[in-house]
Chain A
Amino acid sequence: MMTAPNRSAIWQILERVCDPEIPVITIADLGVLRDVLIHEDGEVEVIITPTYSGCPAMNMIAVEIRLALKAEGIEKVKITTQLSPAWTTDWFSEEGKQKLKQYGIAPPVDASPHVRQLFGQETGIQCPQCGSTHTQLLSQFGSTSCKALYQCQDCKEPFDYFKCHR
């Protein structure tokens, strides 16, 4: 039993919690983990933010957070979901982007058109297999809310692209 939980120790525990849908990245890489507060009564409050409003992984992430803390003897835990400021892919860590790429998912490209632009697709998306930017959008919606489906025109591999969201 940890008597006086300290914030940075807790942060380190939570940093190891992985995204249930993309298990190579952590909730810290993703920018879902926003803050940790330690209240006077010893309660630990973890503040998370959803990537997408309907992201079904959020419930699972809350369970994983509780389990990770419980394994370290911290049981008095409150998880608060905060909507504002809204999550954007700008919160993705550089390390997280590298991990995504190695896993076979193209990371979000910063220079994408503004969300308000009705037509025209995101360009310069690199095939995570061969590195070619000669790629084409197959569908704006992919296997999860946060991904679009692309295909490489050179090596012909279809791949997931983590959509820019800002």
Chain B
Amino acid sequence: METAKNKTNQALFNVVLSLADSTLILSHRLSEWCGYGPVIEQDIAMSNIALDLIGEARNFYDYAAKLEGAGKTEDDYVYFRESKDYKNLLLCEQLNGDFAHTVVRQFFFDSWHIHFLDVLRNSPDETLAAIAGKSFMEVSYHIKWSSEWVIRLGDGTEKSKQKMETALEALWPFSGELMEATEDEKILIAAGILPNFEQLKTIWMEQIMSVLTRATLEVPTGKNTVQTGGKTGRHTEYLSYLLAEMQSVQRAYPGLKW
């Protein structure tokens, strides 16, 4: 009994850290657009979405610190871990590419995020439920933003459509990881703490198909679980570069404060 409980707690810590890492890394990617957006309104939109995601990440890191009980802060997790310790989705660390790539990456993520949070709001884990309830309303604006851009660019000019097709093909192999449960996630799904991933998979696919149809785009046909492993620490080369930049100041001057 005691070991089962320990196992659930360890799984919970890993999963909370993974959620924190995914939202942080995607937030960081979006923040790279700040000052470079195609038009000012979209520059602001991406910065706003980044801000919401970093707020969510902070809530998850805060909870992870409580679960670990080692007196750590969010900064310890963010600035002093190596890429192999990061548990974010591979999708989140992919490069911004052109605007179409950023929109598709966001669209795949949001289509999962909104439904994941919707169920998590009712989790018996009160802290997870509170964080999800808070972020759910914010993410409802993210999904509107990314879906509208998928439609506008897909059903736009020949050039914008072609760029969207390229982005869809490039990012599709990373999208399956969103709903592919790790061993830790399986423990929490069985305990009723996390949503059922099989149901999420169906809802996600319906969302993707309905928006892509409106955008006159085809759903890529290949398997979408080709690139996975981020949630257990196997990353693409891009994460190390991102971390090198994000962590450089704290690595050079540990504990430095503003």
Contact = CB atoms under 8 A, between A and B. Distances in A.
Contacts of A165: 137
A83 interface: yes
A12 B11 CA distance: 45
A116 B136 CA distance: 10
A100 to B, nearest CB: 19
A137 B203 CA distance: 29
A54 B52 CA distance: 5
Interface in B137-172: 137-138, 140-141, 143-145, 147-148
B131 interface: yes
Nearest to B49: A141
A118 B55 contact: no
Interface in B49-69: 49, 51-56, 58-59
B229 interface: no
Interface stretch (B40-48, B86-94, B182-190, B193-201): B40-48
A84 B135 CA distance: 11
Contacts of B55: 50, 52-55
Contacts of A119: 144, 147-148
B140 A56 contact: no
A139 interface: yes
A86 B136 CA distance: 10
B140 A138 contact: no
A2 B147 CA distance: 56
Contacts of B59: 53, 83
B138 A139 contact: no
Contacts of B126: 84
Contact of B52 (A118, A145, A163): A145
Contact of A141 (B48, B58, B135): B48
A116 B130 CA distance: 18
Nearest to A87: B134
A166 B141 CA distance: 12
Contacts, number: 81
A142 interface: yes
Given A54-B56, A86-B133, A138 B48 contact: no
Interface residues of A, number: 27
Contact of B138 (A53, A83, A84, A138): A53
A86 B137 contact: yes
A56 B148 CA distance: 27
B145 A52 contact: no
A115 B58 CA distance: 24
B129 A145 contact: no
Nearest to B53: A54
Given A140-B45, A145-B51, A83 B56 contact: no
B134 A86 contact: yes
A-B pairs, top 10 by smallest CB distance, nearest first, are A54-B55, A53-B55, A84-B130, A115-B140, A54-B51, A139-B41, A141-B45, A141-B48, A83-B130, A86-B133
Given A52-B138, A53-B55, A85-B133, 5 more contacts: A50-B134, A119-B147, A139-B44, A140-B141, A141-B47
Interface of A: 50, 52-56, 83-88, 115-116, 118-119, 138-143, 145, 149, 163, 165-166
19 contacts: A54-B55, A55-B55, A83-B131, A84-B133, A86-B130, A115-B136, A118-B211, A119-B147, A138-B41, A139-B45, A140-B45, A141-B44, A141-B47, A141-B49, A143-B44, A145-B48, A145-B51, A149-B41, A166-B137
